[in-house]
């Protein structure tokens, strides 16, 4: 691990100011960043911890919207009883990861196999930052890439409450990341289907399934659909064809369990 300075501001404004330093980097739960530092794969001049900022923590529910502070941990979301979102959070990693990892950190990192991006995209959630609000469809921009600008901090995530939703994951047993994960959400404006863990482009919507499910919200509606293996991840855990089959199987399972 390289040497670095460390700051733990108590306000968002102070955090933004600290991140203006050259090569400064935000630290949330650190579940990805700390191992990266230990392997000397990153060398920030300063780490700016976001865990001491009260405005980034907590969960509230108002006018059909569930708002979760960016520094809220997975275990807090899991304990909240928020339907499929709590189930999703309760199956991230192991207890150590769930007690340290945060929803904001997960979204900012945008790992291609992370769970939260699927829920955010499926519900059409809004990612709020210190500077603006970003719709889910505009936030994710490929593997480990988002619409966040340099020094911009996620402050909260606003989830519209779905009429029904379910997240199904086929997990890699060692890491519990999603080999493939599918979130189906029946929203007021229609059904949305988001897939994580499958594509080389990261989390994405399966629009053909959305069209079929808007006409008939049942697992039978996607029985005749096929998922192309083009552009899907190939690794020691599964081939593109294997992942393509999982997308369809897990989508049908999610619809049946909504």
Q: Which two tokens stand for residue 155?
A: 């402050």
Q: Which two tokens stand for residue 196?
A: 């994580």
Q: Could you tell me if 70 and 104 are in contact, meaning their C-beta atoms sit under 8 angstroms apart?
A: yes
Characterize the bridge pairing of strands 24-27 and 126-129. unpaired
Q: Which two tokens stand for residue 38?
A: 């230990």
Tell me the whole-structure pTM to 2 decimals. 0.95
Q: Which residues of 16-28 are buried (b: 16+ CB within 10 A; e: fewer)?
A: bebbeeeebbbbb
Question: Residue 132, SS3?
Answer: coil
Superfamily of domain 164-257: CO dehydrogenase flavoprotein, C-terminal domain (3.30.390.50)
Q: Could you tell me if 167 and 91 are in contact, meaning their C-beta atoms sit under 8 angstroms apart?
A: no
User: Looking at residue 41, what is its pLDDT?
Assistant: 87
Q: Could you tell me if 161 and 174 are in contact, meaning their C-beta atoms sit under 8 angstroms apart?
A: no
- In tens digits, what is the pLDDT along the chain, a chain of 258 residues? 889 899 999 999 999 999 999 899 999 988 888 888 889 888 889 999 999 999 999 999 999 999 999 999 999 999 999 999 999 999 999 999 999 999 999 999 999 999 999 999 999 999 999 999 999 999 999 999 999 999 999 999 999 999 999 999 999 988 889 999 999 999 999 999 999 999 999 999 999 999 999 999 999 999 999 999 999 999 999 999 999 999 999 999 999 999
User: Looking at residue 37, what is its pLDDT?
Assistant: 86
- The ranges assigned to domains in the chain are 1-54, 164-257
Please give the CATH number for the structural domain made up of 1-54: 3.30.43.10
């Amino acid at each position: 691990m390289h040497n670095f300075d460390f700051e733990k501001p108590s306000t968002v404004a102070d955090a933004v100011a600290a991140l203006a330093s050259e090569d400064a980097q935000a630290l949330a739960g650190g579940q990805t960043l700390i191992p990266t530092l230990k392997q000397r794969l990153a060398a920030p001049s300063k780490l700016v911890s976001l865990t001491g900022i009260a405005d980034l923590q907590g969960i509230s529910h108002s006018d059909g919207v569930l708002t979760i502070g960016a520094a809220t941990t997975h275990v807090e979301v899991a304990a909240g009883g928020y339907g499929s979102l709590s189930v999703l959070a309760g199956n991230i990693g192991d207890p150590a990861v769930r007690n340290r990892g945060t929803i904001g950190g997960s979204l900012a990192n945008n790992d291609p196999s992370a769970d939260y991006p699927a829920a955010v995209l499926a519900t059409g959630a809004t990612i709020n930052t210190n500077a603006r609000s970003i719709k889910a469809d505009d936030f994710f921009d490929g593997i480990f890439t988002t619409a966040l600008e340099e020094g911009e901090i996620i402050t909260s995530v606003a989830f519209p409450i779905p009429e029904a939703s379910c997240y199904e994951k086929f997990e890699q047993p060692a890491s519990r990341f999603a080999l493939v994960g599918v979130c189906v959400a029946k929203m007021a404006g229609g059904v949305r289907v988001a897939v994580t863990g499958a594509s080389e482009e990261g989390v994405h919507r399966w629009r053909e399934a959305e069209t079929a499910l808007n006409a008939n919200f049942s697992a039978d509606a996607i029985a005749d659909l096929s998922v192309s293996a083009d552009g899907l991840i190939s690794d020691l855990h599964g081939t593109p064809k294997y992942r393509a089959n999982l997308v369809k199987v897990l989508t049908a399972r999610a619809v049946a369990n909504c």
